[in-house]
Each structure stands twice: as C-alpha cells, then as structure tokens.
Structure 1
Amino acid sequence: MSTAPPVPPPPWQRLLDSARESLRALGDAVTSPTPGEPPFTRAESRWLRGLPYAVAAVLVAALLPVTVTVLAQDYRVNGGIAGALATAQTAPLLLAVARPLQAWWIVLTGHVAGAVVLLGADGVAGRSWPWTPMAVVGYLALMIAVGLREPRRTLLGVWLVTGAFGFAFELVSPARGDGIGTLLFVLCGMVLLVSGALRERREAQRRLAEQETISEAERARRTLLEERARIARELHDVVAHHMSVITVQADSAPYRIPGLPEAACEEFTTIAASARESLAEMRRLLSVLRSEGSEGERGPQPGLDRLQQLVEATVRAGVPAELSLPAGLGAVASAVDLSAYRITQEALANVVRHAPGAPTRVSVTAAGGRLTVLVVNGPPTEPVSPLETSGTGHGLVGMRERVRLTGGTLDAGPLPDGGFRIAARLPLGEPPDSPGTDPAPAREKKPGPGPAVRKTPDPAFDKKSDPAPEDPA
C-alpha cells in the first residue's frame, strides 16, 4: 500500500509562516534583554565608572522640569497629569544605564500615553504631536543606551516599534501630525545604527583581547613544555652514562671479584638486567620527546670545562667579555655541570642579541656547597637590531627549568645603569668538607689565543638564531 507524498504548502502560506516567525523573533528580541555590563564598568577610574550615571542624572534633571512646564503651559494639560507623564518619559533614563530595554518599554508607554492625552488637549493645535520636542530628545538619548547594550535584532525591533506607533498616530489624526513621527523614526534609526556599530566594535575588541590572553597562556605553556622536553633530552646522555656504568660493573663483578657466593653473582646479574631494561625504557622515552625530523648531537654534553670557549665565541661576536673561574672546582654533578653551561650560554646569547657591544663579565664561584654562576652585562654600546627587540621567552624559561631541576635558585633582572644580571645558584653534588673553608682562589681568564682556544668557530654564537645547539638525542 503506497502513501501519497505530502503536498507542499502554497507560496503565500510559506511567506506568511516566514513573516510570522520573523515577528515572533522580533517580539522575543524586544522582550528579552541581553545580559551585560553598563559602559565603563571595568574602568580603573571610579569617576569613569560613574560617568554614565552622571550623564543620565543630568538629562533627567534638565528634561523633567521642562517637560512638566511645556505640557502644563503650552499644551494646557492638567498639572498632575503633566507631572506623571513627564516622570514616565524622563525618569527611566536613570534605569537605562543598567537595564536599557526595560527603560525603553517604560518610556515608550509614557510617550504613547502622552500622545493619547495630548490628542484631546486644547493647546495641541499648531504644536508638535504625537511627540513633544522634549520627548524626542529624551528618546534619542535612550536609544544610545539601548544601542550600546542590545544586539542587532533587538535594535531592529525597537526601531520598527517606534516607527509603527508614530505612523499609527499620524493615521489616526493626520490633521494634527506635523511629521515629527517620521523625523523621530529616521533619527532613531541613525542613532541605533551608530551606537550598535560602537557596541559591536567594543565586543570585537573584547573578544580579541580574550583570544590574545588565551594565546599568550598557551604560548607560555608550550614554551615551558618545549624547554622541559629539551632538558630531558639533554639529560638522557648523563643518565644513560651512569646506567651503562652500572651495567658494566654488575656484569664484570663476578670476574673481577674472585670467590663471590652464588647468591651475590645472581644479584649482580639481576642488577645488570634491570639496568639494561632501564636503558631500553629511556630510549623509548627519548623517541617520544624527540621532535619530528630532529637528530641529536654525536658528541658529549658540554660542561664548565667549555666555558672558556663559550666566552671566546662571544668575543668574536662583538661583545667584550671576560671569565672568572676557580682553579679547581672538584667533582660537580653531571646535571649541575650541564645546567651551568647552558645557563651561561643562554645568558651570553641574550647579551649578543639584546645588548650588542655591552661589557660582560662571567663569574663562577663555589662556596657553601653551592655553585654560583653570575653573568652581568652593561648597557648596549651599539644599536639593537629591530629583529631582536622582542624575544620568544625561551631563554629565561629554560634557565628557570634547569635551576628547578637541580634544586637551585635563579635571580634575573635589569640593573639601574641599563644592564642585566643573571645569578644562578646550583647545589654541588657533595657538601663541602668544612662549611667555613674559603673557596678556592679564582683566577682571571681573559679571552685570547692559547692552547685551549678552538680553531673552528663556535656555532653556538656564530649563527643568528638561538645560540643553543640542537637538542641531543
């Protein structure tokens, strides 16, 4: 059994349904106020926040007595009725600052009631009707408040309702109408158009500011994660070295130490197997942390023994720098050794980029079980390139993460003379034998040719981008 397809409605029915839906949407728009804040609510100045209320109070204070006087004397309206109409037409302007749509309904009702009262008044002949001049001024001021708060559909509904009442009154009594209804309709549309455009511009700026805040937070988070992944990749070599040593020692212990019991040999075998498994897990973890297409260095990780080469590379880049390094630091933990080098490298790179030609001093001291790395530069003596006026923020983020990794502290900030200071305090691997012992005397090292100078340029500072080397595997 087949069913007949539904018969489409005629065109006039579809047009009627569309018009009904549009009217229903406009009705919802003019009866449902949009939640929001009055203008200047978030302004820092208290006077600026109270400016809309002050303007509304001035308008009410100016329009209310004038409206009462004009209605009572020019239009010959009873004094009590004139006072009630004037209050209904002007007092809601105070409400319009916070609730403009509700204020519009009250004012519109007052204007309609006033037009009905003036229709039978004796003094209306030859005067403006259905709206008085004061009503036009107050209504346009109200339209500014509505346009700054409500969306387009609501503004369209307010404009159409205003025109509908004006034209309806002129049709009821065309002899008394003088075209002021048409004038208000046109002026109301212009005010709503301008104020609505200002509101949309303000909303666009607010959304743009929110998006920039979100983007900045995401960028900072991404920078932090990138620096942590980079540090983890660099520390892989350090940890892998120790794990390899453990594996070799555990495997060779039964051969190096004669007479070991069977249980001890089994224990060493278990230790070696666990170390190998840990190395395999580290390689899998490193493959996750490695960026796509990146390949690590084949050489060993740098440390404090390469600071001299780092400073000399900085001198070749045009920055007069000198190094003060203790004669003998003793044993330094691998993570601390690497972190001290990377912090110095990033600090010198910042000097090269943001303070070209600035005198710079690098000082490394050891005291109280802590290694202190101090990099101080003066103000730039050469113009800074416009490409270097803004950084990515990776430098200080990386320094903080390296210091946090080793359990140290970082102090970074500008100096009164226009320079910059970075002080990193990292714990040495082992506490000092005597806390009161003075640190080893420092010897001044100034860059210059010598046996320790590398003949090839240091890529860490000869390239224009971030001087830090590629992430190691």
Structure 2
Amino acid sequence: MTTTGESVESGARGAPGGPWWWARRRSMVLDVLIALASVVECVFEGLDFAGEAGIPSGAGVSLGVIVGSVLVLRRRWPIAVVLVSIAASAASMGVLLTVIGLYTMAASGLPRRVTGVLSGMSITGTLIVTVVRFQRDMAKDGYHPPFWVAALVAVLMAVGITVPPTLSGLYVGARRRLVESLRERADGLERELSLLADRAEERAEWARNEERTRIAREMHDVVAHRVSLMVVHAAALQAVALKDPQKASKNAALVGDMGRQALTELRQMLGVLRSHEGQGTGRSAGAADPLPLASVAAAASAASSSASAARAGAAAPSGSSASDAATAAGRGIDASAPPRLRDEAIGGPCLEELEALIEQSRAAGMVVDLLVEGAEQTYAAMVETTAYRVVQEGLTNVHKHAPGAETRVRLARRLGEVAVLVENGPSDRAVADAGLPSGGNGLVGMRERVASLGGGFVSGPTDAGGFRVSAVLPDQAARREQAARAEREATAEQAARPDQAASSNEAARSEEAVPSEQAVRAEQDGRSDEAARFGQPAASEQAAPLPTKPVADSLKGRGPAA
C-alpha cells in the first residue's frame, strides 16, 4: 500500500497510455483494481439503498458505479474523493472508498488542518449514519436498546473506519517526504563533492604548474650562469688559441671546470627529484605529494658549493674550505659534516660566496668592483640565497647583453634587512658579443623570489646607457629577534623604574608587534622605493619598469635586458 498516496509531483512523467498523475504502470493497475473493488461494494450497497428508498434498482446500481469509480482519481484529487465518501455515507455505501480516500489524503502532503477538518467531517458523518441505522435496524427486530449503546457502536465504527487510515497515511507521507529529503540531500552532497573534486583537481593542477615554475626557476638560477661563463670562456679560447697557447690552455681548463660544475648541479637536482618520487611511490601508490622547493634549493646549494670547491682547487682551496666552515659555524651547523649534507643544511649559497661568484666573472674578462657596507652579520638562509641569486642574475645579464661593460656590485648589510645592487655601464664595442641567448625569464624569477620574501625588486636601464638591478630583502627572523631584544630591554628598564606606567609601554609594544595589513603593504612598497633609489648617483636617475622583449633586444649594446 505504500505506492498509494504518491505525491502529484512524482507522477508528472505519467504512465504510458494513462493519465499523467500515474507515475508508474504498477500504480495505475493498483488504482484500477481498488476502484473495481469499490465499484462492486458500492453496487451491492446501492441495491440495498434503492430497496430501502423505493427507487429503481438501476438507479442504485448506477449510483454505486459512479461512487466506486471515484477512487481512480484518488492521486489527483484526494480531497474530492474524501468529500464524495462523506456524501456517500448518507446512503450507507463507500466504506472502502472512505478508508482509501482518507489514507491517500493524509499521505498526499496536504496541510494538517485540511486533513484534520476532513477527517472530523468523515467521523461526524459516520457517527450520524451509524446511530440512525443501528436504531432503525434494532427497531425492525423489536429491540429498543438505550441510546448510549447506539452511540458506543457508532463511535467504534467511526473511529475504526477513519482513524487508522488517517494515521497510516500521515506516517507513510512523513516517511516518504523524509526519504525524498534525504535523497535530495544526498544528491546535493554528491554534487558538492563533485564540485570539490573539480576544485581540488584545479588546485592540484595549479600546484603542479607552480612547482614546475619553481623548479624551472631554480634550474635557471643554478645552471644558466655556469653555461653563460662556459660560452664566454669558449669564445675567449677561440680568440687566443693560436696567439697565446698558455692562455688558451687556461681557458680550456676553465671551460672544462664550468662544464663539470654544470653537470654536477644538474645531476644533484635530478637526484633530489628522483629520490622524492621514489619515496612518494613507496609510501602510497596513489599519493602524489608536491616536491618541496626546499629540496630543490638544497640541491642547488650542494651544486653551488661543489662548484666553489672545484674552483678553489685551482685558485685558493684553503680559503674556500674556511669560508664554508665559517658559514656552517655561523648558522649553527657542524663544520665536520660532509660537504653535501652541510650545504643542504645551510639551504643554499650565502653572501660569503659573493666574492667567489665575482671572481668567476672576473676570470671571464669582466671588470667588476665589489663594495660591501655595514658590519658582517648572518641572515636567514633564504634571504642570503635570494640576495646571492639576484647578484648572480645581474652578472649573467651583463655577460649576455653588455660584454666588456664595467660593473659594480654593492652589498649593504643592515639591521633586519640586506640590500644588493648590480649596475653596469654601456657595453664595450671592442669586445665581441658572445651571442648568448636570452629567454627573458631571469629577472621575472628574481622578482618572484624577492616578492615571496616581502622585499622590493627594481630593474631597468640607467641614464648612462647601462642597466641596474637592485633588491631590498627583509629578514623577518632578525626583526623578530630585534623586537624580542627591545622588549626584554624595555622590561628590564621598567623593572628598574617601577614608578613608570606599565600599561602605556604594553600598548606601545603590542602596536609594534602586531602591525596592520596597511602597515605591511606600506612597508613592502617602501622597500620597492628604496630598491629603486639604492645606488643611484643622481636624483634624476629613476629605475624603469621591467623591459619587454623588443626593448630587451634594443638594449643589446647598453646593458642587460630582462
């Protein structure tokens, strides 16, 4: 019986060949069978009513057929079926019609007050008809029972016919609506999960693209410089091969060293990538964790330090080892550890290796001056690595776009930040161009690196016909340490002078410790302005925005392009 009382909405599709309110063929067959049973019942009751009322039997049969067949419409018009059953109760017919009609009405989802009113009308009609018929039938047999007996029989009859189907219909309707709501909720959750899966796939694709970009940037930083120097030394080797065999031999050795260093860098970076892939496969067959950038940076660090060691083998081996040991000691790392592990712990090339980097460019024929300002101090590993990469990219661009240009590198160590500048003059027309290609990605990668640390980066041509690259990098760890030191000093001063108001100092320290978002943005914009002014000889000389590719081609004789 659960198929009866189905909602009108569920029958909108219709059964083939039947009225549209029948959702399924089974429901149509069930309704027709119930209607036939009701017609048979009403026909017999119509004959009895015709005999009692003194009307033709055909009229009673017709009335029974009409009343009984109303059940066919119970799904479409449940209220009309109940009203017909109430009216038919006056003729003592339609018990099945009343039961099925009340059940369908209660299960159809009509307002409770409508169901209650129609159920009350059905009970009232059944009570009246039952009392009258009971007293009349008892009088025919010569019995005259008390009125309360007739009333009791009528109440039992009315309650038995009306209440069970109504309660059953209410239960089935509530259960059906609950199932529908759960189904809709499940469908909604499925759609939401599908949407979340799509978004997760988009985020994963974005993360993969971001990781590819970072790996490409790392490979550009650690390999492009070496390859550029190899090309420069190869050109010099070709120029002096017959004139100065000793210098040609030296240049050939330098080319070999640079090539081996580049291969070492590539091998170490690929080793990091493959080892991470093997660990991910062994951990979970379906897992695809993104490669941490720190691993790539560690590989770059190992390659850079290995290059420094190889170069020092021909120039100053003891000085390089002392520099690595000093760097490791300055960062709290055991200097007796293997070089690769020590370099991975350090996290990348540091500022102490700038002199070696500049010596490589000097060996390739570049005139480079290094100016260091400020007391020697140690910054965070990523800060020093980024500053090193900025100088490296600036020197690489000079090799590419301004051969023979005089270059100056400036390093300013400050409390809580470090600033670097690479500026070159116009290229020397007498020096042959090495013909190094440029993809225009180096300065873009440097800008991304500096921005990720909250610093400012500016690059562009100068009025003298050269090119300038400058960056200001904050050291958040040093600033936090400085703030903690200032807080300790303020606490000690407050303890020494207890008469001072503690609340004002606490408020001032909290304001300094928790800057607003506008203050952070203003500070980063200020670093960009400072990077633009850093190293300018005149106030009229302003840093230009990042040149486009055509501008880069036009600056071939002036200085490095993007």
TM-score tier by shorter-chain length is 0.3 to 0.5
Which protein has greater RCO, CA pairs closer than 8 Å, 6+ apart?
Answer: 1
Kindly indicate which of the two structures has a greater share of residues assigned to helix: 2
Larger radius of gyration: 2
Tell me the TM-score normalised to structure 1 length: 0.40
Tell me the TM-score normalised to structure 2 length: 0.34
